[in-house]
Amino acid sequence: MGAFSSFQNIFKIPELKSRVFFTLALLAVYRVGAHIPTPGINGEALSEFLAKSAAGALMGFFDMFSGGALSRVTIFALGIMPYISASIILQLLTVVIPAIGKLAKEGEAGRKKIVRYTRYGTVIISAIQSFGIAAGLEGMQGGIFVQNPGWSFRIMTMITLTSGTAFIMWLGEQITERGIGNGISLIIFAGIVARFPAAVVSTVNLVKAGAIPIFLVIFLVAMMVAIVGGIIYMERGQRKIPVQYAKRVVGRKVYGGQSTHLPLKINTSGVIPPIFASSIIMFPATVAGFIAIPWVQAFAKQLSPGTVLYTTLYVSMIFFFAYFYTAIIFNPVDIADNLKKYGGYIPGIRPGQKTSEYIYKVLSRLTFVGGIYLAIVCIIPEILITRFNIPFYFGGTSLLIAVGVALDTVSQIESHLITRSYEGFLKKGRLKGRRG
């Protein structure tokens, strides 16, 4: 009853209610667009062919992020991945190029410029990828999937797919500004969740047909529940560094003297590392699956989930982006300077450089543990599913993204309720670990 009344409180706040409905409406628009076919392509025949070809595993994995739009080559076939790729490039450039690094520190004005550059990069990447898909479709199976091959088809496909990605990018930005939660993450979340019902029905039919044993499905469901519990536990896990503020006497008043703590998350980077790693690995491999050249097809097969090359690259990139993204959003030097400025210090650690070194040391260890957690959640289920050849995507990456985005969104709704003196979703304790 308490949870239901907490849910009802959403609709008692006009602003929050409008934000929730606005978000749901735009996600519905995204799902409708994911079923509109690209002109000039036989999407159904292509989808059947890809499901049976060597590129099927790659397509099934990457199709997760587009909600099935890629395998059918709809107008949203590229999904939001070009935007993510552009974001990765811009974030790398903030470290490499000082001028862009300065923009990131200029506040709102600098952020707007970086967003604008990211949009330009998204369009460029989308145009390149859509041209590769168009050329690849013309060469597949003698061009039977393309009605009228030639430059008119390539240009039309480029315009259609690039416009589709630009529209998705706009939807994500609108959700972030006027809705609830992070728009880009919610779009990926919607694509993942949209595939779950069909996957459940497919699995049930296979069990009825005797294609897979029921105990194996029970094991996978139990594994999924355990993974969801582990994700929630780790995402909310923190290391609290004690902070003491010195007493200051101003006139007759005494300021400071209180004790508090600095919360450091085990997984500061959230779901960003697996999303970035998947984006970098899977799209080149998927495009290679469209190219009917033996050595290219062999390369694409080696990058399929479950192979040694794929696992090695994926784990390496997860660790890289875990450290990289943590370094971008959390600066120990700034934290140490702010503590020193306001009279705060960590007991037993000198203020200033020693404090920043201590925070960096603790953060590095936490990020290493977080990287191990992300790698286990993303890789182990994929290996088991690939080995057992179960055609139901219970993959750890999809669960990690879905649960992580859900926690972020619920946390934002919770904060809206708290600021208006309503009890939140969690009666025994509010969501922790999502406060920057």
Each of the 436 residues of the chain gets a pLDDT tens digit; together they read 444 555 677 777 788 888 889 999 999 999 888 888 888 877 677 766 666 554 445 555 556 666 666 667 788 888 888 888 888 888 778 777 888 778 777 777 888 888 888 999 999 989 988 888 788 777 766 667 777 778 888 899 899 999 999 999 999 999 988 888 888 888 888 888 887 777 778 778 877 887 778 887 787 788 888 888 888 888 888 888 888 877 666 666 655 567 788 888 888 888 788 877 877 777 666 666 556 667 766 776 777 666 788 888 888 999 998 998 888 778 888 888 888 887 788 888 888 888 888 889 999 999 999 999 998 888 876 776 666 665 555 567 778 888 888 888 888 887 777 776 554 454 545 555 444 4
Q: Measured between alpha carbons, how far is residue 28 from residues 22, 32, 66, 168 in Å?
A: 10, 6, 14, 12
Q: How far apart are CA 227 and CA 397, in angstroms?
A: 11
Report pLDDT for 142. Answer: 65
**Is residue 414 a contact partner of residue 243, using CB atoms and an 8 Å limit?**
no
**Rounded to 5°, angle at Cα 264 from 263 and 268:** 135
Buried b (16+ CB within 10 A) or exposed e, 115-132: eebbbebbbebbbebbbb
Report CA 79 to chain centroid distance, whole Å. Answer: 13
**Residues 46, 73 contacting (CB under 8 angstroms):** yes
The CA distance from 214 to 80, in Å, is 36
Cα–Cα nearest to 383, from 221, 232, 220: 220
**Residue-level pLDDT at 88:** 80
34-to-75, 177, 200, 354 alpha-carbon distances in Å: 7, 23, 20, 52
Any idea where the domains of the chain sit in the sequence?
2-419
Residue 256 has a pLDDT of 57
* Chain centre to alpha carbon of residue 237: 19
List helix spans (H) across 42-182. 43-52, 56-66, 69-72, 81-96, 98-104, 108-139, 151-178
Q: Give the sign of the dihedral formed by CA 272, CA 278, CA 281, CA 284.
A: negative
Do the bridges between strand 238-245 and strand 344-345 make them parallel or antiparallel, or are there none, so unpaired?
antiparallel
Whether domain 2-419 has CATH 1.10.3370.10: yes
Tens digit of pLDDT for each residue in 97-138?
888 778 777 777 888 888 888 999 999 989 988 888 788 777
pLDDT in tens, 344-367: 888 888 888 888 888 899 999 999
pLDDT at 2: 47
Q: What is the CA radius of gyration of the chain?
A: 24
